[in-house]
Amino acid sequence: MKPGVAWALLALVAGGLCHCRTDEEADRTLESAPSTRLTLEPPTIQASPPPPPTSALAEDFEDEDFLVQVRTARLCTPVAPFLPPAEHRRLAVDVEVTAKTERLVPVSPLTFWLEDEGGQRFGATLAGCGPAFSNRNLQRAQSIRGEVAFDVPQSARDLRLIYQPFLVGRAQVTAHLALPSSTH
């Protein structure tokens, strides 16, 4: 061990020993401390605003930091062993995301969901039918385009695409996008 490191360790140990209190001293300190009454109030929970109706959605969403666009959506035919569960269909959505500012915009299949008319969300499956998004952080003027695939029940109606990136230094942003009507 180098002499400088040994002296530093010795100084830390000696300093710690000098600043220790006995149990008796600690008890006296606690007894002389003023009493403080702490009251906890239940947190105020604010409801999220309801999502816009599907009929009011566009196939693109522009925010101060990014633009996300639905290019196409299609039913795709997966191959074994990557089949959707029974009574489900696989929907592939071709999406493009463009960063507009210096703030990093994360893009991955896991930042997207499909949501039906009842508010039930369906996460992306990594077993898609085309070129999938890679996990990326986009910077100003960078774009990425790829497919995000979802396994949704045959009965799901009025589907919308949700994009919810985690943007550092900002409140949560949620983009609701329409899908071309032929797919839902």
Per-residue pLDDT tens over the stretch 48-82: 445 555 445 789 999 999 999 999 999 988 887 88
- Select the more confidently predicted residue: 21 or 58: 58
pLDDT of residue 80: 79
pLDDT > 70: what percent of the chain?
67
**Predicted confidence (pLDDT) at residue 33 exceeds the cutoff of 90:** no
pLDDT of residue 19: 45
- Select the more confidently predicted residue: 78 or 26: 78
**Predicted confidence (pLDDT) at residue 125 exceeds the cutoff of 80:** yes
Residue 136 — very low, low, confident or very high, per pLDDT cuts 50/70/90?
very high
Question: pTM above the 0.75 mark?
Answer: no
Tell me the average pLDDT of the chain.
Answer: 78
For the chain, strand residue ranges (E) read 60-62, 66-75, 88-99, 105-107, 112-115, 121-125, 136-138, 143-153, 160-163, 175-178
**Domain-wise residue ranges, the chain:** 57-183
CB 105, CB 97: distance < 8 Å: yes
Q: Which fold has domain 57-183?
A: Immunoglobulin-like (2.60.40)
